[in-house]
Chain A
Amino acid sequence: MADMQDELETLPASGPVLQAKDFKSDQLVRWCPGCGDYAILSVVQKLMPSVGIPKENIVFVSGIGCSSRFPYYMNTYGFHSIHGRAPTVATGVKCARPELQVWVITGDGDGLSIGGNHLIHALRRNVDLKILLFNNKIYGLTKGQYSPTSELGMKTKSSPMGTIDAPLNPIAIALAAEASFVARAADTDLPHLAEVLGRAAKHKGSAFIEIFQNCIVFNDAVWDPVIAKGVRDEKTLKLQHGKPMIFGAKKDKGLRLKGLETEVVTFDPANPPADLLTHNEHATTPTLANVLAQIGDPMPLGVLRSVERPALHELMTGQIDHAKKEKPADLAKLLKGPETWTVA
């Protein structure tokens, strides 16, 4: 993607050139063989040398769940916190020390169930965090209960007759919370995942990335209908800023608006219709992104929204700088308060 290349070229030069292996910790990775997490870990470790941040200034924060073991495997600073609360810890880290780059690793249970409240508030405040939500539609670490993204009717250990809870749409929630960067990728298309995460790394503000991730033990192949090799060209739409929304192995399908809904049109690739939707990540309002968030066939992948607004740490530091200029800190004066009297 052109955008990403431009951004990578403008990165500041810093210290010795690092490689993916410099970001591997000495801990044995303990996910199940075949888990989608391995692929994501490898993409992140390979990406890190290119983001241009000194290793000691990178912090990975997680909650609880399979995905949340992630920080142990990164040779950066890391904090494996408690269930659902990673965005809160990460908010403290980032705002306390704005020079740090802070990544949050969470899952559908950790981030959308027990930690749903923290996720939306981190996003609305535009805390400068890169939030990777591994969505496998199941609780893995507790061995197979339905999650807030499990399909209605799904049979699990805690729903032997099928779930009766309607699922959440993570992207729609992120958009509703006014996240300034919202994207989606899958653990099976690693170059695309790397591209999306590279964009997130360069974004200033909350970056939310839903990653379709496979749980090989408790929900194997859950994403296959969308991203399996034989179907993915026809079932996914890779969004590109400024480009018409075209998909299909032959580039013969596209999306256009019909009233407030979208429809798929098939055409001769040599002669695409003029009324196809054009992607605009930077639209001021999230209307287009919201439309895309509601589509499942084809499934939009890539960056749905990327807009600029002040990050929380900038506003916080700005107020402090302003206050210091207006009123220099004087402890003795502060302790005296507004009124004193002298006892002789």
Chain B
Amino acid sequence: MSDTTITSKPAALPVEEIESAVIRFAGDSGDGIQLTGSQFTTTTAFAGNDLSTLPDFPAEIRAPVGTIAGVSGFQIQFSSREVLTPGDAPDVLVAMNPAALKANYKDVRTGGILLVNKDTFSQANLVKAGYTQNPLDDGSLSDFRLIQVELSRLTRNALEGLGLSATETERCKNFFALGMTYWLYDRPMDATLKWIEHKFKKNPKYVEANHRALHAGNAYAETAEIFGHHFRVRKAPIKPGLYRNITGNEATALGFITASQLSGLQLWLGSYPITPASDVLHELSKHKNFGVKTFQAEDEIAAIGSAIGASFAGCLALTTTSGPGIALKGEAIGLAVMTELPLVILNVQRGGPSTGLPTKTEQADLLQALYGRNGECPVPVIAAATPGDCYEMAYEACRLAVKYMTPVFLLTDGYLANGSEPWAVPDPSKLQKFEKATPPPAADWKPYKRDPETMARAWVAPGLAGYEHRIGGIEKQDITGTVSYDPENHERMVRLRAAKVNKIAQDIPPTEVLGEKKGKVLVVGWGGTYGAITAAVQNLQKAGKSVSSVHIRHLNPLPPDLGDILAAYEHVLVPELNMGQFLKVLRAKYLVPATGLNKVKGQPFKVSEIEAGIQSLLGDK
């Protein structure tokens, strides 16, 4: 572990001060693009900027080399002010081959820099990318500053004499490109040099090769004067404290471990590999020293089945998956509702339906979480707003599950899961503590007797003498929990289960409104759209527009104050990465004429798209 304090480096060459920048790295999925992006991110964080990242990779592990299908991308926005999104349009695109150029150049802002590896623009590669002529000399890129670099050849030269194979040498070219971008944004290279040393400590030759490639790229950018000048983005006014970089999936896993440690309940994860949720399984599997029991089941149903069993046995139980997995778990979620056992169900949403877009983001599983089961089957639903917020919401899901003896849905999405941001290392002592309640004496206890404040039944795990009892999926007699087919009892139990979930409203803090408490437009968001919505609303507020926003983290039950808030605006806009699912909920519950702003492209909202939606409601178009 290193704790780096920022030091500024004097610049020797002309530097232009800019407020923020957006850079995108793109190449074949085997080109090390995600690695390059994460190194740039670490260095940027150490430089004191605020930042937000968006990895964008194909579902295929190694699609045919050089094709559009195989292009992997990583975008980062960094700034001397608060950063809420990975940025709408890159200022710089680093394209490692023709396919990466073709798939990405249209997103670059006019006048932006296209840095391409000229060596890859062979006839064969152009054909693979679907080019009929070479874009580097047909004038089609005239809207941009095209910088052609012989990345492969220059890397080869730099590594000469090391005795590496052609393939090994080729693998270092991403560090050559990274070195160039470090010069472009006046960044120190120490963090990456250190990382290389650590990563390849068993192979000194690779340390030397990657060091050389990074230095050579940096020196080349400076001496060849290819960019003319370079840029500096000053430190952002970030709240003082200790920071780290974190992705949503990491934060989710850490939230679960924190909940286990603070409650003293052993953590059980039953999971089955699925993109983009697998990293939560990976992360939790690494921390067995916290007593975490992870079980990679034979399928999604076994994963949740094991979690329900572990919960019955007294563990803090989780199951983590994505939409298709939730579809398979539906019947078992009903069993957890019926048996009133605590369980956290994580859905890292991806594009659907069916297999859909496994590596892309979407918010189209909200109605599945709210209603996607047989029978009247209410489950609390909460959603994280940012990568870092996944930590708090994972903790909150555990707290609610145990306090109210219910399965709880936690919704995140591919954008939050893989995206990263600087995260103030939290102080767990500030979290609201929870623990398993002690059951009443056996004489006063019945399996389905409820606590008057929470309506939760007592959690009595096997091992306690005198409390032997049976639970199951057949309708329960109120209080005794024995099997009952009585019509009156069934309706009573349906109402009791719903009332218990609704009780959670008493735990929801007042909704924070960004901006004036009344006005023309209120933007209502949930989940991973927080950054784009907040940036858009702040931009328009600066321009004097009457717009405010709220971001809902508790989706079932909804915050008790939401109805009054909605009523204070002329228009309500609900941006979602689906066809209007939360919009339907809001219209049905509050009878408000809300308007949807919907996008289903597997990509997050751009700030400009939200701004346009707001402006059209303001009548500014």
Contact = CB atoms under 8 A, between A and B. Distances in A.
Interface of A: 25, 27, 54-61, 64, 71-72, 74-82, 85, 87-97, 99-100, 117-118, 121, 316, 319-320, 322-324, 326-329, 331-344
B246 to A, nearest CB: 7
8 contacts: A25-B470, A88-B270, A100-B463, A118-B305, A328-B289, A337-B425, A339-B245, A342-B240
Contacts of B331: 82
Contacts of A344: 5-6, 240
Nearest to A80: B472
B469 A77 contact: yes
B470 A339 contact: no
Which of A79, A87, A320 has its CB near the most chain B CB atoms (within 10 A)? A79
A118 B302 contact: yes
A64 B317 CA distance: 23
B462 A81 contact: no
Contacts of B238: 343
A319 B288 contact: yes
A25 B471 CA distance: 13
Interface in B297-321: 297-299, 301-315, 317
A341 B3 contact: yes
Contacts of B307: 92
Given A88-B301, A118-B302, A335-B426, A81 B240 contact: no
Given A88-B305, A323-B288, A343 B245 contact: no
Contact of A99 (B48, B244, B463): B463
B407 to A, nearest CB: 14
A114 to B, nearest CB: 10
Nearest to B474: A80
Contact of A333 (B1, B240, B332): B1
B241 A96 contact: no
Which of A75, A82, A329, A341 has its CB near the most chain B CB atoms (within 10 A)? A341
A61 B428 contact: no
B289 A324 contact: yes
A64 B335 CA distance: 12
Given A72-B470, A79-B471, A80-B470, A88 B2 contact: no
Contacts of A55: 465, 468
A59 B258 CA distance: 30
B45 A81 contact: no
A92 B242 contact: no
Given A78-B469, A337-B244, 6 more contacts: A80-B473, A85-B301, A88-B305, A96-B309, A335-B428, A342-B3
B291 interface: yes
Given A89-B309, A97-B314, A343-B243, A338 B290 contact: no
A328 to B, nearest CB: 7
Contacts of B309: 61, 79, 88-94, 96
A96 B291 contact: no
B313 A117 contact: no
Interface in B241-265: 241-246, 250, 254, 257-258, 261
Nearest to A90: B309
B313 A342 contact: no
Given A92-B305, A92-B317, A335-B425, A81 B335 contact: yes
A95 B332 contact: no
A343 B240 contact: yes
A340 B261 contact: no
A331 B257 contact: yes
Given A329-B261, A342-B243, A85 B293 contact: no
Interface of B: 1-6, 42, 45-46, 48, 191, 235, 238-246, 250, 254, 257-258, 261, 266, 268, 270, 287-293, 295, 297-299, 301-315, 317, 331-332, 334-335, 339, 425-426, 428, 461-474, 482-483
A333 B295 CA distance: 25
Chain B facing A: main interface SS: mixed
A87 B301 CA distance: 11
Given A80-B472, A92-B312, A97-B313, A56 B306 contact: no
Shortest beta-carbon contacts, A-B, top 3: A92-B309, A88-B305, A80-B472
A197 to B, nearest CB: 20
Contacts of B244: 336-337, 339-341
Nearest to A55: B468
A74 B246 CA distance: 50
A195 to B, nearest CB: 26
Given A85-B302, A92-B307, A93-B309, A331 B288 contact: no
A326 B290 CA distance: 11
B472 A54 contact: no
B197 to A, nearest CB: 14
A85 B564 CA distance: 45
Nearest to A97: B313
Nearest to A76: B468
A71 B472 contact: yes
Given A81-B305, A334-B290, A343 B241 contact: yes
Contacts of B254: 334-335
Contacts of A75: 468
B289 A92 contact: no
Which of B5, B308, B315 has its CB near the most chain A CB atoms (within 10 A)? B308
B70 to A, nearest CB: 30
A323 B289 contact: yes
A76 B314 CA distance: 16
Given A55-B465, A56-B462, A57-B463, A343 B48 contact: yes
B2 A117 contact: no
A263 B496 CA distance: 64
A27 to B, nearest CB: 7
A152 B4 CA distance: 73
A57 B464 CA distance: 8
A331 B261 contact: yes
A24 B302 CA distance: 30
Contacts of A71: 470, 472
Contacts of A335: 254, 258, 425-426, 428
B223 to A, nearest CB: 30
A275 to B, nearest CB: 43
B289 A88 contact: no
Contact of A54 (B293, B301, B317, B465): B465
Given A88-B297, A97-B461, A336 B473 contact: no
A341 B425 contact: no
Contacts of B239: 343
B146 to A, nearest CB: 35
B305 A334 contact: no
A59 to B, nearest CB: 5
Contacts of A323: 287-289
B268 A92 contact: yes
Contacts of B4: 339-342
Nearest to B191: A339
B46 A77 contact: no
Given A72-B483, A85-B332, A341-B46, A79 B301 contact: no
A77 B425 contact: no
